[in-house]
Structure 1
Amino acid sequence: MELPKDPMILFSVINMKLRDCYSSLDELCEDMQVNKVELVNTLKAVGFEYSQEHNKFW
């Protein structure tokens, strides 16, 4: 699956995947073959931070 380029849609898709399919961001990135640093930086650029405790970006 190719991830959306729009950061707001990306935020929504990633959080849905984290909620429904993955117990951690590391697991999601490994399974989907996504560069974790790029993903985190893309979402951070628009104001979202990953919470490991809650397993979601906010």
Structure 2
Amino acid sequence: MIPKDPVMLLSYMNTQLRDFYGSLDAFCEDKNADRKELEEKLASIDYVYDPAANQFV
């Protein structure tokens, strides 16, 4: 289950991206998650996806 709280989501996403997925698109495809929704929720706490680092920074 993907966390709803933005701070918990940040930790979850960066761990998932680091340990299991080569990109945010790969995560979203595997988990059937809405990329735009994830990015908007994390943008609300001033984090954006950095494809070069494959994490939210």
TM class by shorter chain equals over 0.9
Q: CA RMSD in A?
A: 0.5
Residues of 2 paired with 1:24 and 1:5: CA distance? 20
Count of aligned positions: 57
Which secondary structure does the structure 2 equivalent of 1:17 belong to? helix
Residues of 2 paired with 1:30 and 1:19: CA distance? 16
Residues of 2 paired with 1:46 and 1:22: CA distance? 23
Report % sequence identity. Answer: 40
Residues of 1 paired with 2:42 and 2:22: CA distance? 19
Q: TM-score, normalised by structure 2?
A: 0.97
User: Runs of 4+ in structure 1 displaced over 3 angstroms?
Assistant: none
Q: Does 1:33 align with 2:32?
A: yes
